[in-house]
Chains A and B, each alone.
Chain A
Amino acid sequence: MRIFLNDDMHEVSPGTLAAALETLGFGGRKIATAVNGRFVAAAARPRTDLADGDRIEVVAPMQGG
């Protein structure tokens, strides 16, 4: 199925947010996530099923003022 991660389209197998993040190279990384504009806590990623067309945001710590 197709998902959009930070606006980039990816083809992934149907599954959970945790599985998709692992596939796309985010395993073990310090990140925070949202799906379709809603925050998804790290603990909830393994039980959050993705659907075709879902929009995922992945953010990491960054400099800020």
Chain B
Amino acid sequence: MSSFYGVELKSRLLLGTSRYPSPAVLERAVKASGAEVVTVSLRRESGAGKAGQAFWSLIQSMGVRVLPNTAGCHSVKEAVTTAHMARELFETPWIKLEVIGEADTLQPDVFGLVEAARILSEDGFEVFPYTTEDLVVAERLVEAGCRVLMPWGAPIGSARGLNNVYGLRSMRAHFPDIPLVVDAGLGVPSHAAAAMELGYDAVLLNTAVAEAGDPVEMARAFALGVEAGRAAYLAQPMEPRDMAVPSTPVIGKAALGD
């Protein structure tokens, strides 16, 4: 079992709450996924608006832990202020820290990310940084106080899977004791299974479930993928090799040739 800032989770699937067809489908998808942590965000609300309050009541009724994000923040200042607002609103020191650096790929601004992570860690936040698989950036994040790292699989919402398996494998090898979560870019359960087979502690996804034809069934499928990938990792997969090796013994084969 992996520990995220001292919190032990049975489920290795963290699920986003955005883009579902309805609150009822969201609720059923979360249940089907078995997720114990869901990501949430903050947005402007008017005095007459009630959407935020209704959403919060729904989340509370699910009995899950929340991981607020700083989605959409493009500067350190924005991200830090948003984190403070989230900590008060959701009553948790956890923050999924996003500092976006590039509009088309939503690639993290890793320089701003490290700076914001340091500011927030020193202020008592428990930071889950949305980062790339760059090892040097990851080192800086750990130095800044991060005790979880969340490299992207692929750009957010792209459903491309693991773009850089080598990089993700290197990261796992380089940080054997830091909980690692593949965050973003997963499209199908086999992507999640592949991340888990690399030894990742968990995956975080949203759009792949929310925008599936049947989000509830896809949530269940991802839960199975995560479970299968984790079991495979623990079972120590064999190494790939270039040449065939017969699985049926050759010794004792009947001599039937000319």
A60 with B53, Cβ < 8 A, contacts A32-B89, A34-B81 known: yes
Closest to A33 in B: B85
Counting CB contacts under 8 A, is B124 at the interface? no
As a 0/1 sequence over residues 31 to 42 of chain B, the CB contacts with chain A under 8 angstroms (1 = contact) are 000000001111
Q: B131 within 8 Å of A by Cβ?
A: no
Which label, helix, strand, loop or mixed, suits the secondary structure of the B interface? mixed
Q: Which of A30-63 contact B (CB under 8 A)?
A: 30-34, 37-39, 41-42, 57-63
B250 vs chain A, min Cβ distance (A): 53
**Chain A residues whose C-beta falls within 8 Å of the C-beta of B86 in the assembled complex:** 32
Q: Mark B4-44 against chain A: 1 for CB-CB distance below 8 A, else 0.
A: 00000000000011111000001000000000000111111
Contact B52 A32 (CB under 8 A): no
Asked whether A62 lies within 8 Å of B85 as measured between CB atoms, the reply is no
Query: Number of B residues contacting the other chain (C-beta, 8 Å)?
Result: 38
B81 touches A37 (CB 8 A): yes
| B251 interfacial contact with A, CB 8 Å | no
Q: Are B43 and A60 in contact (CB under 8 A)?
A: yes
Q: Which of B66-114 contact A (CB under 8 A)?
A: 68-69, 71, 77, 81, 84-86, 88-90
A-B contact count (CB 8 A): 105
Question: Cβ of A64 and Cβ of B16 under 8 Å apart?
Answer: yes
Whether the Cβ atoms of B42 and A61 lie closer than 8 Å is yes
CA distance A41 to B241 in the complex (A): 59
Q: How far apart are B106's CB and chain A's nearest CB, in angstroms?
A: 11
Please give me the residue from chain B that is nearest to A25 by CB atom. B47
Q: Of A25, A30, A37, A63, which contacts B41 at CB under 8 A?
A: A63
CB-based contact A60/B49 at 8 Å:
yes
- Say yes or no: A62-B55 contact (C-beta < 8 A), given A24-B47, A25-B48: yes
Q: Are B88 and A41 in contact (CB under 8 A)?
A: yes
| A31 CB to nearest B CB, Å | 7
| Chain A residues, Cβ within 8 Å of B88 | 32, 39, 41-42
Q: How far is the CB of B203 from chain A (nearest CB, A)?
A: 13
Pick the contact of B53 from A29, A39, A65 — CB < 8 Å?
A29
Residue ID in chain B nearest A59 by CB atoms: B42
Given contact pairs A61-B40, A65-B71, A31 touches B81 in the complex (Cβ within 8 A): no
Are A38 and B81 interface neighbours, CB within 8 A? yes
B255 interface contact, C-beta 8 A: no
Cα distance A9–B59 in the bound complex, in angstroms: 32
Q: Out of A29, A58, A65, which one reaches B44, CB within 8 Å?
A: A58
Residues of A within 8 A of B45 (CB): 6, 29, 31, 58-60
Whether A34 and B40, one on each chain, are in contact in the complex, defined by CB atoms closer than 8 angstroms, is no
Listed by A's residue number, 22 A-B pairs whose Cβ atoms lie within 8 Å are: A6-B44, A6-B46, A32-B84, A34-B81, A34-B85, A39-B85, A41-B88, A57-B44, A59-B42, A60-B42, A60-B43, A60-B56, A61-B40, A61-B59, A62-B52, A62-B55, A63-B19, A63-B26, A63-B40, A65-B17, A65-B19, A65-B41
- What 8 pairs between A and B have smallest CB-CB spacing? A60-B52, A64-B41, A25-B47, A65-B16, A65-B206, A32-B85, A60-B45, A39-B84
